Amino acid sequence: MRRRLYAPLLTAALALSAALLPMSEASAAPADKPQVLSSWTQTGATSYNAFFAARANQSAWSTYGFDWSTDYCTTSPDNPFGFPFQNACVRHDFGYRNYKAAGTFSSNKERLDDAFYADLKRVCSAYSGIKKGSCDAAAWTYYQAVDKLGYTAVVDAKNSSSAALTWSGRSK
């Protein structure tokens, strides 16, 4: 008899304690945020599709605090020579922004760039002949840019003031 009484009381006590938690604790990102982020930034088409399904329903993921912002392909054309690279750039931006925020960008950059290249190659797989060759060349160029300059841009943005100080100290 006592067990039947304790179960509803325990449930009510847990519900009350959850309601009384400070807002900062109650609004903390779920513990599986790194796994979710990783699942959306892999090289495969399943990861790509899962990311865009989530992006279309961002409100369902609001407790995770993801940064969904994008500048698409930054200063490069989003659709070079008519090849639709914009979505690949969106997912790449998502990975860069969220891994930077998590403080784990350096250990994930190579995979993010590889996923970007896989996304670009999926775009190019829709073409054949000379058009496919042109698309593949553009994809390779975009990949090389993020591979070689992506980390530099991050470091430069974080250290622009200290880099300027170092440079001015050397020039004296």
Domains of the chain and CATH, by start:
31-171 (1.20.90.10)
| Catalytic residue status for 92 | yes
Section 31-58 average pLDDT: 98
pLDDT digits (tens, 9 = 90+) for 49-91: 999 999 999 999 999 999 999 999 999 999 999 999 999 999 9
Distance CA 171, CA 39 (A): 47
pLDDT score of 19 more than 60: no
Burial class (CB in 10 A: 0-12, 13-18, 19+), 61: middle
Which pLDDT band, with edges at 50, 70 and 90, does 28 fall under? confident
Find the catalytic residue in 89, 92, 94, 109.
Answer: 92
Note the pLDDT of residue 6.
Answer: 44
- Top-confidence range, 1-15, 92-106, 157-171: 92-106
- The count of C-alpha atoms lying within 13 angstroms of the C-alpha of 3, restricted to the half-sphere facing its C-beta, is 0
Note the pLDDT of residue 115.
Answer: 98
pLDDT score of 160 more than 70: no
pLDDT score of 45 more than 90: yes
Distance CA 26, CA 84 (A): 41
